[in-house]
Amino acid sequence: MKSLKRMIFWSLAIGVSLFLAGSGWPGPDEEGAGETAGSPYFFLPGDAAVDSFPLLKTGAEVDISGMIAEVALTQVYKNEGDKTIEAVYVFPLGTKSAIHSMKMTIGDRVIEAEIEEKARARAIYQAAKEGGRVASLLEQERPNVFRMKVANIMPGDRVEVEVGYTELLVPEAGVYRYVFPAVVGPRFTGEEATDDPAAWTATPYLGEGKDAPYGFDIRVNLNAGLPITDFRVGSHRVEVTRPSADRAVIALAAAEENGGDRDFILEYSLRGGAIQSGLLLYPGEEENFFLLMMEPPRQVTAEMIPPREYLFIVDVSGSMHGFPLDVSKALIDRLLGGLGERDYFNILFFSGGSRVLSPVPLPATEENRARARAMLREMRGGGGTRILEALKTALALEKREGLSRVIVAVTDGYVSVEKEAFDLVREQAGAANFFAFGIGSSVNRYLIEGLARIGRGEPFIVTGPDEAEEVAGRFLRYIQSPLLTDIKVEFEGFEAYDVEPPALPDLFAERPLILFGKYRRAEGKIKVTGQTPGGVYEREFVVSDQREDNKNSALRYFWAREKIARLGDYGRVGAPVEEEVTGLGLKYHLMTDYTSFVAVDTIVRETGEIVTDKQPLPLPRGVSNLAVGDLSPVRCFEAMKPSSGLWCVRGVREEDRGDFQAPAAEPRIYVSGGTTPPGLTLAQAEKTLLEEAGTELEKIFREWELESLSVRLTVEKGKVAAVGIEGYRGKTCREEVLEKIFRKLTFPGSINGTIAIELFFG
């Protein structure tokens, strides 16, 4: 089966290679690729003697007992080539996954991995690689992205690596949700100084719609403890058996063997909407741990909902092209419809640049909402995901005085600057609540959850258009009135310490409050108080040694993972947390940014030359080829219609054949979007450009058969000091000619900074 897949993929890859050779598109290892060494790229064939698809299959055995999931993730590698390889595979897990074990199996030999400091683990792995021993190294790149390396897989070898992790399932509105992420989407690296060909973001991808080149399987053994109702797996076809009312076995259907291009999502409810809540205690040998999961108060509709200002930040980059953007449009349309007559709103659309509905918040009149919907319909996915520039622009927009601000970001999160984005929101969002919507079949949950966490809001995931209505309704319901605010926890006679999180944020969602910590003796009380729209809320939990249970050993992992998340995962860029996080990882045997798992075989073999082989990944389902972009030199692709010439775009690595538009009658140049420095609006920049250079540009657009042009101008005291062509779509483009034209422009003498403008001709 794998040999047949290899033949098919090699045939496709060779065809792509020939096309690219004719188009002048260098592969990732060719001259000129160095300036994009850290970016994702399309898979190209290399040495035919090397097995380019070493991952045979990946799967998971999931045991859910009550609210705790214990997962055994298995990856099987097999070398069907003629040379010894080092396999490299980038894969995702949940943001709250606590990885606590790894083992490697070669034939009948099983090697348990050790947790080590990252640098030491790398040194051990490298020494084994050079010494002819099979070795595996697991490193964390992001809290939800990991990289596995397996060295010295000789021709015919089969190596199996099993990773063990645990996860806490937290219900929302009575619904439990288990998510098994299956594929890492390509990350835009244009806002990060990434020029390392060994970076995890430099991952090869297959073309749009191509199946995963490896087998995918998952089996869930669910023991809920209470009768299960409303069972659903909307992401994949499954086969379900029910041994009893409170148990279920969910297995992937055989037809889903290549289902590794999207997250596996299991949802279920317990009879009567019940949730597993209360106090769990674990009496350890050296330390005792507790988990408090408190059921939230019921939603109370406020008699008078105060008006708010809503700022929508919508990703329209290349990775959002097609299906994800269609879902976003449906979502935003529903959110606009839910605004109150006293509310105000604004929308910023972003990709390589940004475009704003209005320089000031607009009243939510029917006319203004119709204007927003018209602008929304115009949007198409294309360009890089410059989320930092978008956040800076959005957070600097004028605010409506006297109204609390609600910020709503809509994106797939395919960026590599998560911590920088968190810092921006932390430092510039002020008192606003930040809600993040992840759109797509395999979104970057680290970014989505982190933005909401830092911004004191809630994260939402929308995997398809059928979910947009329900999720939008849930958001509108949450923001009407928080369930619980001003939350305080007191310990009376209960000696608790190292409590995580140190402070509880306001609760919007119908989700339990969760508190982790350590304790000395199982006695006393825990008292939780807060404010609801209906008045003061108070709840007490009695602590006794009868609640202690040695089966709750996972609590130590949950506590450590929560503290690590607060220190490192969502910490400021450059924060000095390495020593503390490393200590936690080593003490509790957990994967972190600074600790890794390494396993080394004892047998030494003559391996010969070793070829490093990055496992190609499928694009997440619904994501177009436009997602694989970078900051590379301009690439040119032949368009569908012979008369259309070439489409040349910097930062986009694939044609968008379905998005070609024939020129309209009597075309004209207009500005479709962009950003400007303080003191200059986009409308003023457009006026200057068209008055001073419009005629000359229109002539060039016709001669060069240009449809669009993205340009970046550096302005000093009103004069254009530098010109950069970011990308274009058309037959040809001569940068030196355009530079002469744009350098003639004169802006007010007080203007300094960068003007980014997207020009269209049609």
pLDDT digits (tens, 9 = 90+) for 666-687: 567 767 566 788 888 777 888 8
- 169 residue type, one letter: L
Is there a contact between 544 and 280 (Cβ–Cβ < 8 Å)?
no
Tokens of 314: 């919508």
pLDDT digits (tens, 9 = 90+) for 101-116: 999 999 999 999 999 9
CA 48 to chain CA centroid, nearest Å? 34
Calculate what percentage of the chain has a pLDDT beyond 90: 58
Instruction: Inform me whether the pLDDT recorded for 721 exceeds 50.
Output: yes
> Any idea what the Cα angle at residue 257 is, between residues 256 and 260, rounded to 5°?
85
Is there a contact between 182 and 263 (Cβ–Cβ < 8 Å)?
yes
Tokens of 642: 């012979």
Is there a contact between 92 and 146 (Cβ–Cβ < 8 Å)?
yes
Highest mean pLDDT among 193-202, 203-212, 516-525: 516-525
- 536 residue type, one letter: V
Please report the pLDDT score of residue 287 as a whole number. 97
Please report the pLDDT score of residue 277 as a whole number. 77
Please report the pLDDT score of residue 677 as a whole number. 84
Highest mean pLDDT among 226-230, 516-520, 672-676, 723-727: 516-520
Confidence of residue 16 (pLDDT cuts 50, 70, 90): very low
Please report the pLDDT score of residue 7 as a whole number. 47
- Residue 451 phi/psi, 5-degree rounding, is -60, -45
Overall average pLDDT of the 164-180 stretch = 93
| Selected residue with higher pLDDT from 432 and 315 | 315
C-alpha separations of 518 from 27, 276, 285, 290, 513 in Å: 53, 21, 13, 6, 17
Tokens of 531: 């404010």
Confidence of residue 193 (pLDDT cuts 50, 70, 90): low
Please report the pLDDT score of residue 304 as a whole number. 55
Please report the pLDDT score of residue 401 as a whole number. 87
Helix 366-378 and helix 323-337, axial crossing angle in degrees, nearest 10: 180
Please report the pLDDT score of residue 299 as a whole number. 65
| Selected residue with higher pLDDT from 276 and 207 | 207
pTM of the model: 0.77
| Selected residue with higher pLDDT from 483 and 350 | 350
Confidence of residue 653 (pLDDT cuts 50, 70, 90): very low
Please report the pLDDT score of residue 542 as a whole number. 95
**The dihedral of CA 73, 281, 291, 246: what is its sign?**
positive
Distance CA 480, CA 462 (A): 21
Overall average pLDDT of the 447-465 stretch = 92
pLDDT digits (tens, 9 = 90+) for 624-643: 888 885 333 333 332 222 22
Distance CA 429, CA 571 (A): 16
Instruction: Inform me whether the pLDDT recorded for 392 exceeds 90.
Output: yes
Please report the pLDDT score of residue 178 as a whole number. 96
Is there a contact between 435 and 462 (Cβ–Cβ < 8 Å)?
no
Tokens of 524: 């006393």
Order across the sheet with 175-180: list the strands: 175-180, 264-270, 228-233
Of 125-129, 165-169, 693-697, least confident by mean pLDDT is 693-697
Instruction: Inform me whether the pLDDT recorded for 485 exceeds 90.
Output: no
pLDDT digits (tens, 9 = 90+) for 424-450: 999 998 888 899 999 999 999 999 999
Arithmetic mean of pLDDT over the chain: 85
pLDDT digits (tens, 9 = 90+) for 221-251: 999 988 998 889 999 999 999 999 999 999 9
Instruction: Inform me whether the pLDDT recorded for 80 exceeds 50.
Output: yes
Burial (0-12, 13-18, 19+ Cβ within 10 Å), 17: middle
Overall average pLDDT of the 39-55 stretch = 78
Please report the pLDDT score of residue 9 as a whole number. 45
Confidence of residue 196 (pLDDT cuts 50, 70, 90): low
| Selected residue with higher pLDDT from 274 and 60 | 60
Long-range Cβ contacts of 471-477 (<8 Å, 24+ apart): 471/331, 471/437, 472/331, 472/334, 472/335, 472/338, 473/334, 473/338, 474/173, 474/509, 475/335, 475/408, 475/435, 475/437, 476/335, 476/338, 477/299
